[in-house]
Amino acid sequence: SKSALPIESLDSLSMKSFPLCMRQLHEQLRSVHHLRHGGRLQYGLYLKGIGVTLEDSLRFWRDEFTKMMELDKFEKSYAYNVRYNYAKEGSKKNYSPFTCLRIINETVGPGDCHGCPYRHCDVAVNDIVDMAKKGHFQIACSRYFDAVHNSDLGLGINHPNQFFEESQKIVK
């Protein structure tokens, strides 16, 4: 099993090793101190998958959300969802982090930040955009991987956590 990943490193990791779908959720959370349900689920499960513990996850979400709401409200309305992602509430099903296919097929409404940016947003880097426009979202993601790592791997990306793990092999 993996060692625990410290939440203090998430800002730098998000730039170096996160796929764009997770990087944009991280940046949105840091800037507005809130994510809507779809974003909390997508990002929360991903964080579990990269090795953030339940305790650290609670601290991470609490620290951000309480910048714009009372602690009481966080505990009542949001802490449950964090524990739920870690199978500590409800059906106690051990949810897996979402695959690319699942994320690409998400329904994304106005104000939502989850989903796959190559499908759901206007991204802006030529060759990457070309692929995204043609509907090759995961190839666009692979091009993005090579762009941020200055590599030429042409990986097949099927899962955000795979993106992270491949990145960590390079940046470590």
# residues near ligand SF4 by CB under 6 A: 15
User: Tokens 């470590």 appear where?
Assistant: 172
CA distances, 113 to each of 29, 36, 55, 91 (Å): 10, 8, 24, 26
What is the CA angle 25-114-98, rounded to 5?
Answer: 100
Amino acid residing at 59: R
Judged by CB under 6 A, the stretch of 60-68, 78-86, 99-107, 123-131 that binds ligand SF4 is 99-107
Q: If binding is defined by CB under 6 A, does position 116 make contact with ligand SF4?
A: yes
The residue range among 13-21, 52-60, 79-87, 122-130 that interacts with ligand SF4, by the rule CB under 6 A, is 13-21
What DSSP assignment string belongs to 39-58?
HHHHHHHHHHHHT--HHHHH
Please identify, using beta-carbon distances, which residue of 65 and 118 lies nearer to ligand SF4: 118
Q: How many helices (H) and strands (E) does the chain have?
A: 11, 0
Whose Cβ is closer to ligand SF4: residue 82's or residue 104's? 104
Residue 123 near residue 142, CB atoms below 8 Å: no
Give me the least distance between CB of 163 and ligand SF4, in Å please: 5
21 binds ligand SF4 (CB under 6 A): yes
Q: Give the separation between CA 59 and CA 8, rounded to whole angstroms.
A: 11
Footprint (CB under 6 A) of ligand SF4, residues 134-163: 137-138, 141, 157, 160, 163
Task: State yes or no: residue 18 binds ligand SF4 (CB under 6 A).
Answer: no
Span near ligand SF4 by CB under 6 A; candidates 14-22, 49-57, 72-80, 82-90: 14-22
The dihedrals phi and psi of 134, each to the nearest 5 degrees, come to -80, 0
Write out the residues near ligand SF4 by the rule CB under 6 A.
19-21, 100, 103-104, 116-118, 137-138, 141, 157, 160, 163
